[in-house]
Structure 1
Amino acid sequence: MKLTVRLLIGVIGLLSLNALHGKTFEQGINKTVVPQVLAHRDRAEPINEMLKHRLDVLLPELMAESELDMWLVINREYGEDALFYTLVPEPTFAARRTTLLVFVRTDEGVERFSVSRYPIVGFYESRWQGGSDQEQWQRLAEIIGEYDPKKIGINVSEEWAVADGLSQGLYKTLMNHLPSELQKRVVSSEELVIRWFETRTEPEKEVYPQIVGIARGVIAEAFSTKVITPGVTTDQDVSWYIRERFEELGVKPWFQPYVTVQRKGDSNDPESPFFGKSDRVIMPGDIIHTDVGLCYLKLCTDTQEMGYVGRFGEYQVPKGLKDALAKGNHWQDILTSEFKTGRTGNQILQATQAVAKKQKLQSSTYTHPLGYVGHAVGPTIGMWDNQGPTPVKGDRKLYPNTAYAIEGNVKVALPEWDGQLVQIMLEQSALFDGEKVVYLAGRQTEWHFVR
């Protein structure tokens, strides 16, 4: 599938900037440029092209994999779940009364349609001509009976929120309209929904670097003299700059960006999960850190980077900080080298911890999947408040073509601060292709330096 020309130009522009500044795309993006962001009207075409590819190519594979013959996605207006919006084209803002989407696995692929008052043209033509609510449900039951599926998947799950979108009321209504024999065939579509959410397709992999590049570009702006005046600017000022910059660009933050400050003389407890404080005026000599996440073209990012504010007469980052960041990058390498298809999140965490301990690296790992939502579904690889095995989500196996926020931190004694421990908190969006982990828009290997 080919991307639209306008979107492709944006990606090429990002790649060209890397080449212009002597860096490969794997290493990082140019620190002063935010990639092109399409107007809302211009986003519909690439979003819908990517959705059609998913429905035509990916969904048949996933339905066969999960052994479902039919999948029902049922939503009411104003009560839609996150799954619904991953299945419908732009611009779709609501389910319009009750929208019944039906997917049927056949020898040729997946047949898809709706049993709804309003068809979704080009994606879900309706097989109901309209009438009362009762007649709509009766028509759905008739269609199910005609196909006679052995397994009918519905979105209910005890453990995974995105696979638990069917409300209790709609569940009861569905079961009340199915004959007892068909009721027995209704099963959870949990596995299908998880795989649908976590799998990234080739067209998505083409555009994801640009999306991540937006987040990294805005951080570079924020961690510069464009935004920070030492002795005047607060961490909250920088946080809100990032938030408002995202809004200005027309991309959606999925949480409030935040900034923390580490300072020489801070009394850091080595056992504390996080160093750094907020509500501070940023001063020369401070270490600054930010955590930001945005969604654009229906894909989300999660990024943490580090900056240093130079003292008077200081024209480069202190060597101790350069060494500390290098240790953070080394921790990333240890973690990503343990990504193997079929391994569970808990196994990857345990292997990473074993290597880090052997190398006397004081690290903490809390990596999570990325995709349609920021904290997405798939294998959890540690949690900041639980460095042991995570039940269920940590037992999930690693699949190819899945995206992750490579997130964690290292604590390092800083010589320039008389051996005070500092914390290097890193998070970069990456894709596991089945063989290796590739950072989607590079990773931070140099400090943001506010001179």
Structure 2
Amino acid sequence: MTLVAPDPARTVPLPLREQADVRDRWLTQRLLDLLPGLMDRAGIDLWLVVGREYNEDPVLATLLPATWLSARRRTILVLHRSDDGVTAAAVSRYPVGQFLPAWSPVDGEGGAAGQSQWAEVRRIVEQAAPRRIGIDVSADFALADGLSHTELQQLTEALGPFADRLVSAEDLAVGWLETRLPEEIAVLDRLNRLVREVVEEAFSPAVLTVGETTATDLAWWIRQRFADLGVEPWFHPLVDLQRAGVSPVEERGVLLPAVPYDVPVEPGDLVHCDVGLSSLGLKTDSQRTGYVLRAGEDDAPEGLRRALAAGNCLQDLTTAELRPGRTGNEVLAAARAAAAAAGIDGDIYSHPVGFHGHGAGPAIGLWDEQGGVPGAGDRVLHPDTVYALELSVRVPVPEWGGQPVRMALEEGIALTAEGVHYLGDRQTDLVLVPGG
């Protein structure tokens, strides 16, 4: 009998052992299929990723086998681009998954072993004779800036004259972190659907008792539900309320809900949540909004529905500008100009998502940087990347006496050669919560 591996996109969340098999298979495929082209694009001949236990380079965690939960002692990964592809070697005390073992310690870590480890790195570099040696240092991206001061100092000393060939691997590290396999995108689609299912359960009478349940209660219920399902949040869920007669607080141009988190949900409330989960080494980041029906209502007031429609329109205007080859700042400027022409009062602050919730890659605005983001916003968009399309609009609601509502939306989207695709179900209608 032939055993067929489960399709992780259909069976998320998987048991931990099966997750490890999938993640290791993905890593092999990424090393073989993605890394050569990414190294060529960045002009890097040899990439050194170095980290010590409890002080890991963020990139290192994405290269380790699934059974490694952190670096061990000093772990040095060497990725050399040649005509045959990429040779992946580990200068490490312990075997590192798919990486070729390239060193064995000869003494205590603080003595000859530490010296011989760096000497092996020097030997590999001399043999490879790379023109440009990439190291993870970056002024714009913390995720690409993982080489510690001590490791850089010791590496520079060990390389001697080859140290002149050290360059920032920012382009390569960001490319590695932001680029997704088709199967990874399929899993992110399923994870986003799982988020929607959990939130809709949280906004149902099975969980939300109007007049008793608070925003804090809902946030903790969502977190517990994720844990029960075998997935983890990468940040504590946020649940907040907007209510007629309780004007939002404006802080640096942003409307913030003024209803306390420990106040019970009431009929007529707008209930909003921001959640992100982690599974198979991937993260999601999305938001959902519901409306608590008043007595006699079978739908939300038209003003709230128009606010959501305005948010959907801003999403459309933004995705229309998402094209490979443009920078994040160019997308932001074009989308904001289109929004102004359409009479939409809103902000755009979208970001890459994948290995990390706030991932490395082109920033398309920040909530407090609507004129463009220096550095991160100047990066070019590439296909086969995933973003959290995050934005908000401010709309006065006639049924609330003209009180402004901040409608915040966030959806996972994939940018591929075919265009932009939503991951999971895009919210175009408010989740209706029975008012009891």
Q: Above 0.5 in TM-score?
A: yes
Structure 1 residue 269, shift from structure 2 partner = 5.8
Does residue 106 of the first structure (1) align with residue 82 of the second (2)? yes
Pick from 56, 60, 66 the counterpart of residue 80 of structure 1. Answer: 56
Give the equivalent residue in structure 1 for 2:375: 392
Q: Which moved more, 1:266-275 or 1:409-418?
A: 266-275
| Corresponding position: 1:130 with 2:105 | yes
Shift in Å, 1:369: 1.0
Q: Match for 2:39 among 50, 53, 63?
A: 63
The answer to whether residue 424 in structure 2 is matched with residue 441 in structure 1 is: yes
For 1:255, the equivalent position in structure 2 comes to: 235
Displacement, 1:206?
A: 2.4
Residue 364 of structure 1: aligned partner: 347
What secondary structure is seen at the aligned counterpart in 1 of 2:330? helix
In the alignment, what sits opposite 1:338? 321
Partner SS, residue 120 of structure 1: coil
Residue aligned with 2:405, SS: strand
In the alignment, what sits opposite 2:397? 414
CA distance in 2, matches of 1:260, 1:268: 11
Displacement, 1:200? 1.0
Paired residue for 1:18? none
Alignment of 1:200-239 (within 5 A): 200-239=180-219
TM-score (norm 2): 0.93
Q: Deviations over 1:49-86 (max 9, x none)?
A: 11111001000111111111111111111211221110
Change (3 A) 1:4 1:76: farther
1:142 alignment partner AA: R
Cα shift at 1:4: 6.2
SS in 2 for 1:445: coil
List aligned pairs for 1:278-317, cutoff 5 A.
278-279=260-261, 280-317=263-300
Q: Which amino acid is 2:290 matched to?
A: G
Q: Match of 1:157? A: 138
Q: Distance in 2 between matches of 1:423 and 1:439?
A: 22
Indicate conservation of the 8 Å contact 2:329/2:365, yes or no: yes
% of aligned pairs identical?
Answer: 43
Q: How does 1:256-275 map to 2 (within 5 A)?
A: 256-268=236-248, 272-275=253-256
Map residues 1-16 of structure 1 onto 2, 5 A cutoff.
5-8=5-8, 11=10
Equivalent in the alignment of 1:43: 19
> What is the alpha-carbon distance in structure 2 between the residues aligned to residue 133 and residue 36 of structure 1?
42
Q: 1:14 maps to which residue?
A: none
Distance 2:288 2:367 in 1: 17
On the 8 A contact 1:275/1:422 being kept in 2, the answer is: no
Relative distance call for 1:4 and 1:226 in structure 2 (3 A) is farther
Counterpart-to-counterpart distance in 2, 1:268 and 1:237: 21
Residues 1:90 and 2:66 are matched in the alignment: yes
Does the CA-based 8 Å contact 2:249-2:255 persist in structure 1? Answer: no
Offset of 1:275 from its aligned partner? 3.3
Q: Is the contact made by 2:249 and 2:257 (CA closer than 8 Å) also made in structure 1? A: no
In the other structure, the counterpart of 2:359 is 376
Match of 1:145 in 2: 126
> How far apart are residue 272 of structure 1 and its match?
4.1
Q: Secondary structure at the match of 2:235?
A: coil
Judge conservation of contact 2:58–2:144 (CA < 8 Å) in 1: no
Q: How much does 1:203 deviate?
A: 2.2
In terms of mean alpha carbon deviation, does 198-207 or 47-56 score higher?
198-207
**Partner amino acid, structure 2, of 1:102:** V
Q: CA deviation at 1:409?
A: 0.9
Q: Which residue of 2 aligns with 1:351?
A: 334
In the alignment, what sits opposite 2:110?
Answer: none
Which residue pairs with 1:170 in the alignment?
151
- Cα deviation per residue 1:167-194 (whole Å; 9 max; x = unaligned)? 11111111111222x1111111111001
SS at match of 2:372: coil
Structure 2 residue ranges without an equivalent (≥5): 107-112
The answer as to whether partners of 2:267 and 2:293 remain within 8 angstroms in 1 is: yes
* Aligned alpha-carbon RMSD (Å): 1.7
C-alpha separation in 1, matches of 2:236 and 2:102: 43
Contact 1:340-1:435 within 8 A present in 2 as well: no
Q: Is the 8 A contact 1:368 1:379 kept in 2?
A: yes
The one-letter amino acid paired with 1:109 is G
Q: How far apart are the structure 2 equivalents of 1:163 and 1:4?
A: 37
Query: Cα deviations across residues 121-161 of structure 1 (Å, max 9, x unaligned)?
Result: 4x112121321211121122112111111111111112211
Amino acid at match of 2:201: E
1:165 counterpart letter in structure 2 = G
Deviation for aligned residue 1:36: 4.2
Q: Within 5 Å, which residues of 2 pair with 1:168-207?
A: 168-180=149-161, 182-207=162-187
Partner of 1:244: 224
Whole-angstrom distance in 2 between the partners of 1:304 and 1:93: 29
**Contact in 1 for aligned 2:49/2:57 (Cα 8 Å):** no
Q: Is the 8 A contact 2:365 2:371 kept in 1?
A: yes
- Supply the distance in 2 between the matched residues of 1:343 and 1:118 (Cα, whole angstroms): 43
**Paired amino acid for 2:87:** E
Checking the alignment, whether the CA contact within 8 Å between 1:194 and 1:378 is kept in structure 2 is yes
Q: Which sections of structure 1, spanning at least 5 residues, go unmatched?
A: 12-34
What's the counterpart of residue 109 of structure 2? Answer: none
Q: Structure 1 length as normaliser, TM-score? A: 0.90
Aligned with 1:87: secondary structure? coil
CA distance in structure 2 between the partners assigned to 1:221 and 1:176 by the alignment = 58
The CA deviation string for residues 102-134 of structure 1, in whole angstroms up to 9 with x for no partner, is: 11111010011111221124x112121321211
Closer, same or farther in 2 for the Cα pair 1:36/1:154, shift >3 Å? closer
Whether the aligned pair in 2 keeps the contact of 1:223 and 1:448 (CA below 8 Å) is yes
Runs of 4+ with deviation above 3 angstroms: 268-272
**Alpha carbons 1:211, 1:301 under 8 Å: kept:** yes
